[in-house]
Structure 1
């Protein structure tokens, strides 16, 4: 595929240019669908967890998790490229309007002008990103079938990701371009790493996925501060109410993640300490036995 063909299919296709977020035309665009899907996701996860509660061995999944990781890495990379090309096209076509309002491309990435409607290229890829959040929840089912603990953080995090991506479209919320670029870039790396380790690549000597998630959360916090500053500087950013809800949800995810990270680190230290004590006891016992001999 040539560069011109790639640009056409990712930013100039009529379906992308003419996209419009509508409750009557866009699948999954209603509040009832959003609430029903999240409740269904939580209930199915809990039922599956309790059904397998007394099962000791994990359910064999074969190559399904690896294929899922590969698909998510590819779709994340596609969304990243598509929204980047689409944003560049929007900047090129509306630059004359920005000169009158003294708006720079960097400001537009973080702060949509008041009155922005969820139509066009950027919101098409935001819609695709919203749909992929449901595919992301499959990680929960894989974890349950593998007999891993079903944590509140996992259910909460996946549900919040769906809600936030829905709010981006429903209220034409500012910040979503940067949010999608950051998330899809990190996810393409994380899911690519998961795919490679699933097919036999040695894992990193440090918690790679957790560190990537920490980078993503940190960048989101910085960008949210930028949106707030531009909101007061430029006289208002579109969808600032939804942005406020988004910020609260992001803060909750960040606090839960930090709590999960600290507890995991402390648990790892306790396990390492126990193994050191056990090894010392074994070594000491062997020395005593040798002395007796």
Structure 2
């Protein structure tokens, strides 16, 4: 198959397939699209994580539970999934701009459309299809919590809060057709593809850097970019005729700020522990 034909076929699968073009967010037809499901799934995730942690504590197990290749396969799956969502969202956004530009071109540029959906935007079409796939991917991410508990006996409230709020935010993007979600999905999937690619790299035994700092640095970069983008939405909302889903936008901005604050505290804590371990190792080397 010629490269041009291959690219055309890939573009068709990412943005022109009838399932993608005809997508519509529906509380009847789609899995996970109701408020009751959202609340139940988050509650179940929190309860299962805490129960597993307490169970291992009561059993007195100190050694890691062997998981074999499961974490590596999970990381590989998530990497491929986020790369696909990134490509699909990018291709679909370009197609939506091409097909709907006649409607908003007098008031917005294509980049401003990515930041600010016109009032009355419905959660249907290409970009919302990939937003839905991104929402579903959040449920696959929570397996990291269980891996961490089984292997390291660690359960962080920051970790639980982060996963729970990410699921909630992704749901709100669809429920209220929130502005800015296209750019946020592109940034998030790009960063997560790198994070999970690095996880896979280390899981198969390849050389690794200081893992917590690598992950935290990626997350800081993501949250900082998202906060800048969220602030940019405000002038467009007040000067360009309004942006859709501003209530969900406000909640998402607040959660991003809280998570950034919690990550900052965690980063300081990890930095201190790392310095203490480094100083201890130096003292031990001198004694030898």
Q: TM-score of the superposition, structure 1-length normalised?
A: 0.93
Q: Report the equivalent of 1:7.
A: 11
Structure 2 distance, partners of 1:45, 1:98, is 46
Query: Where does 1:129-140 land on structure 2 (aligned, <5 Å)?
Result: 129-140=134-145
Q: Report the equivalent of 2:123.
A: 118
Among 25, 31, 36, which residue is 1:21 paired with?
Answer: 25
Q: Report the equivalent of 2:269.
A: 263
Among 162, 174, 186, which residue is 2:179 paired with?
Answer: 174
Structure 2 distance, partners of 1:147, 1:181, is 31
Q: Report the equivalent of 2:218.
A: 212
Q: Report the equivalent of 1:105.
A: 110
Q: Report the equivalent of 2:250.
A: 244
Structure 2 distance, partners of 1:267, 1:276, is 14
Deviation at 1:242, TM superposition (A): 0.7
Structure 1 distance, partners of 2:198, 2:75, is 8
Query: Where does 1:134-149 land on structure 2 (aligned, <5 Å)?
Result: 134-149=139-154
Structure 1 distance, partners of 2:222, 2:119, is 27
Are 1:51 and 2:45 counterparts? no
Are 1:227 and 2:209 counterparts? no
SS in 1 for 2:215: helix
After superposition, the C-alpha distances for 1:202-260 in whole angstroms (9 at most, x for unaligned) are 00267222211111111111111111221122131100011001111111111110010
Structure 2 distance, partners of 1:193, 1:121, is 30
Are 1:153 and 2:152 counterparts? no
Deviation at 1:274, TM superposition (A): 2.6
After superposition, the C-alpha distances for 1:127-180 in whole angstroms (9 at most, x for unaligned) are 000000000000000001103310100000000110000000000000100000
SS in 1 for 2:108: coil
Stretches of structure 2 lacking an aligned partner (at least 5 in a row): none
Q: Report the equivalent of 1:163.
A: 168
Count of residues paired in the alignment: 281
SS in 1 for 2:152: coil
Indicate the RMSD between aligned Cα atoms, in angstroms.
Answer: 1.3
Q: TM-score of the superposition, structure 2-length normalised?
A: 0.95
Structure 2 distance, partners of 1:147, 1:71, is 22
Structure number with bigger Rg: 1
Q: Report the equivalent of 1:188.
A: 193
